Amino acid sequence: MHCVRKVTDDLYWVGANERRLALFENIHPIPEGVSYNAYLLMDEKTVLFDTVDWAVCRQFLENVEYVLDGRPLDYMVINHLEPDHAACIDEILVRYPETIVISNEKAFMFMRQFGFHIDNERMDEVNEMDTRCFGKHTIAFVYAPMVHWPEAMVSFDVTNGVLFSADAFGSFGSLDGKLFNDEMDFDRDWIDSARRYLTNIVGKYGPHIQHLLTKAGTIDIKMFCPLHGPVWRTDLGYFLEKYDKWSRYEPEEKGVMIVYASMYGNTEAAATALATMLVEKGIKNVKMFDVSSTHVSYLIAETFRLSHVVLASVTYNLGIYPLIHNYLMDMKALDLQKRTFAILENGSWAPKAGDLIYEFLDKELKEITILDERVTLTSSLSELNDSEMENLANALVESINAE
Ligand code: FEO
């Protein structure tokens, strides 16, 4: 049974929601699901923008068939070849033998690599800023390399200002009947999912997002139609501002996240004591995370949100606790920058984690500050740590208030 939404007079959402998948890209938890968006333009010619993940192909095909209502599918634009959007290309080509595929050279190369079979006469290769007219609507194709793969492009409907934005301006989360940003309380219910999606999936490519935002600034966009999450038709500036911040690696808020690794509760107790001191000193925006029970994608999203990070780690095998190390590696991989870090370490006979964390941060991350004040526990927090704790809390307060 079909389930579609009308986006404009002649444009339809024909995507589907996935609520059974536990891990997006087999790595990121998506307890609230994800939508795979595809759009069908019913002009003098019919034009499908992208497909969906194989898991929801059946729903997608029913949607396309319903909207076409017997008409042929003339064109299929592929903006992004990653299989969560491109898996159903062959299925469309088999069912609609007249369809011409519009995409760029790199995407066609990837199609061959992924084993899709497209005859040369069914391929229409476009270059940067090429246009195609489908009747009332003229579409311009704009390259968006590395947002999030090298072949990625966006398609801009110059007739009505709709931007088919591929992975840009997307979010985790299933749509649950709602499609448009004004049908939901995005700032309350969606922003955390949007941040976690962008920072973990495309976070590494901040400069490329900036490049796309610059291009976007030169055109009159009225609507974002991304490949995941809500369609934006109001308050586009809200999301543009978030994207600008995230892609420049600027924190959204002043605040402290304390990420702790604790085997028997002693490091956690010290982290809680530090959080309490910060709140008592007037820093209310404090959040604690147990690295052992918080998936690193949530930690990364919070690290993009907040200005200060306290890493509280036990020493493990004379090294950094493995899950803290994993978190550090993710920060490096995503090119996180412009944060202030503080270190609290624990080690019953040879505390080493602090020096190793410092060395990692210093060598591997750009444009960061590491506070000199450090707390070193030998097994558990005691009065011997009073001055270190006080000094660290004061240094954090001073740093936050100075920015
Ligand atoms: Fe949702 Fe880069 O694909």
Q: How far is the CA of 144 from the centre of ligand 1 (A)?
A: 13
- Name 343's Cβ contacts closer than 8 Å, sequence gap at least 6: 310, 311, 312, 313, 354, 357, 358, 370, 371, 374, 375
Q: Are residues 197 and 293 in the same domain?
A: no
Q: What pLDDT digit, counting tens, does each position of 162-201 carry?
A: 999 999 999 999 999 999 999 999 999 999 999 999 999 9
Is the pLDDT at 393 greater than 70? The verdict is yes
Q: Are residues 88 and 35 in the same domain?
A: yes
Q: Are residues 209 and 333 in the same domain?
A: no
Ligand 1 close to Cβ of residue 85 (< 6 A): yes
Ligand 1 close to Cβ of residue 82 (< 6 A): yes
In ligand 1, the atom with minimum distance to the C-alpha of 227 is 1
Range of the domain at 226: 5-248
- Name 271's Cβ contacts closer than 8 Å, sequence gap at least 6: 258, 260, 262, 288, 310, 312, 344
Q: Write the CATH number for 145.
A: 3.60.15.10
Q: Kindly report whether the global pTM for this prediction surpasses the value 0.85.
A: yes
Yes or no: say if 393 and 344 are a contact pair by the CB < 8 Å rule. Answer: no
Q: How far is the CA of 118 from the centre of ligand 1 (A)?
A: 22
Q: Write the CATH number for 367.
A: 3.40.50.360
Q: What percent of the chain has a predicted confidence (pLDDT) above 90?
A: 98
Q: Are residues 240 and 342 in the same domain?
A: no
Q: Kindly report the protein residue whose alpha carbon is nearest to atom 3 of ligand 1.
A: 82
Alpha-carbon distance 145 to 397, whole Å? Answer: 40
Q: What is the mean pLDDT of residues 82-97?
A: 97
Q: How far is the CA of 79 from the centre of ligand 1 (A)?
A: 10
Ligand 1 close to Cβ of residue 228 (< 6 A): yes
Q: What is the mean pLDDT of residues 45-67?
A: 98
Question: 357: pLDDT confidence band, cut at 50, 70 and 90?
Answer: very high
Ligand 1 close to Cβ of residue 148 (< 6 A): yes
Rg (CA), the chain: 24
In ligand 1, the atom with minimum distance to the C-alpha of 228 is 1
How many Cα atoms sit within 13 Å of 212 on the Cβ side?
A: 33
Helix axes 353-364, 322-333, angle to 10 degrees: 10
Where among 226, 248, 270 does a domain terminate?
248
Q: Are residues 381 and 349 in the same domain?
A: yes
Where among 248, 268, 295 does a domain terminate?
248
Where among 197, 231, 248 does a domain terminate?
248
Question: 403: pLDDT confidence band, cut at 50, 70 and 90?
Answer: low
Ligand 1 close to Cβ of residue 227 (< 6 A): yes
Q: Are residues 266 and 371 in the same domain?
A: yes
In this predicted structure, what is the pLDDT of residue 148? 87
Q: What is the mean pLDDT of residues 301-310?
A: 98
Q: Are residues 243 and 373 in the same domain?
A: no
Alpha-carbon distance 351 to 355, whole Å? Answer: 9
Is the pLDDT at 35 greater than 80? The verdict is yes
Q: Are residues 207 and 300 in the same domain?
A: no
Q: Are residues 237 and 285 in the same domain?
A: no
Q: Are residues 128 and 205 in the same domain?
A: yes
Q: Are residues 291 and 376 in the same domain?
A: yes
Ligand 1 close to Cβ of residue 80 (< 6 A): yes
Q: How far is the CA of 85 from the centre of ligand 1 (A)?
A: 7
Q: Compute the CA torsion angle 89, 91, 95, 100 (nearest 10 deg).
A: 10
Q: What pLDDT digit, counting tens, does each position of 136-165 carry?
A: 999 999 999 999 899 999 999 999 999 999
In ligand 1, the atom with minimum distance to the C-alpha of 149 is 2
Q: How far is the CA of 148 from the centre of ligand 1 (A)?
A: 7
Ligand 1 close to Cβ of residue 151 (< 6 A): no
Is the pLDDT at 102 greater than 70? The verdict is yes
Alpha-carbon distance 252 to 242, whole Å? Answer: 8
Q: How far is the CA of 169 from the centre of ligand 1 (A)?
A: 11
Q: How far is the CA of 109 from the centre of ligand 1 (A)?
A: 17
Ligand 1 close to Cβ of residue 308 (< 6 A): no
Q: Are residues 179 and 286 in the same domain?
A: no
In this predicted structure, what is the pLDDT of residue 78? 98
Q: What pLDDT digit, counting tens, does each position of 270-303 carry?
A: 999 999 999 999 999 999 999 999 999 999 999 9
Yes or no: say if 345 and 357 are a contact pair by the CB < 8 Å rule. Answer: yes
Alpha-carbon distance 341 to 361, whole Å? Answer: 8
In this predicted structure, what is the pLDDT of residue 117? 87
| Number of independent structural domains in the chain | 2
**308: which strand partners?**
256, 340
Is the pLDDT at 235 greater than 70? The verdict is yes
Omega before 308 cis (within 30°)?
Answer: no
